[in-house]
Structure 1
Amino acid sequence: MTYAVHCKARPEYALSTRGGAVILAPVDRSDECQHWFREDMLSAQVKDEHGFPSFSLVNKATGKAVGHPAGAGRPVELVPYDRDGLQLDGSVLWTVAGEDGDEYKAIRMQNNVRLNMDALGGVKESGGIRDGTVVGVWEWNGGDNQRWSIVPYD
């Protein structure tokens, strides 16, 4: 099963890949670059500091996983992913924040929950999300550009 990942700041856009980068693009269900596998084979063993289970997002078109960048304000990376191997270093492991009643939640780095997936520059004051908005990580500020929904494709 594949999933779409939407940002609350502009739900009609989906997490995608383009030119080796992870970006947001207008939803196109036929575009395999917008289809993601949610790999959770390590979820029972690897959790974040709050006890939430880890998972990886692996792109259907590229076979690469969303990897952690070097720090806040940096784009996430597409990195090779070995489905048969175990990447215990945490560089491709993410967690979803606790249940708060909202379908859109923070997606956090498993090994540093202070850094959250972020549509960089995707706030209204900066022009909002548009085709090609780069996805990175940022410290939690509660903005809609940091809230995500992972939903299955039919």
Structure 2
Amino acid sequence: MRFPLKTIYPAIAGLAIPSISSGAETTSFDNQVTPVLEEYCIGCHGPEKQKNDFRIDTLDRDFINGRDTETWHDMLDVLNLGDMPPEDEPQPTEAERQAIVDWITTKMVHAIDEKRSTGGQGVLRRLTRYEYNNTMIELL
């Protein structure tokens, strides 16, 4: 069976896009989020000191299958409210704060979409008792 090149090239491009986007997410985290967390957060929530038994450096960045999605959500709430860092500590600029908020929000939206997705599979639903009885009556 021969496939025209017009169908093969888009398929190859479609397979390459997810790997490109995941690399961009890592770059965004490493370049924009990590420096801000290290400067303003790791001092109180890092390996040497853990206020409220909370460590940022050990949080799982996998929002889909990871164990720390709720913690990231709590962190997003604290950042949006301006509760962290405390007022007596150095504060990130609005752009730095927004970079973290945007990264967490983007990852959460992606995780929600991924969890809701059926992966292209049709979802079979079960018949209610009433529907099952009517189906059996019609078949017999």
**TM-score bracket, shorter-length normalisation:** under 0.3
- Highest RCO, 1 vs 2 (Cα 8 Å, sep ≥ 6): 1
Looking at secondary structure, tell me which structure has more helix per residue. Answer: 2
TM-score computed with the length of structure 1 as normaliser: 0.24
Looking at secondary structure, tell me which structure has more strand per residue. Answer: 1
Q: Which is greater in Rg?
A: 2
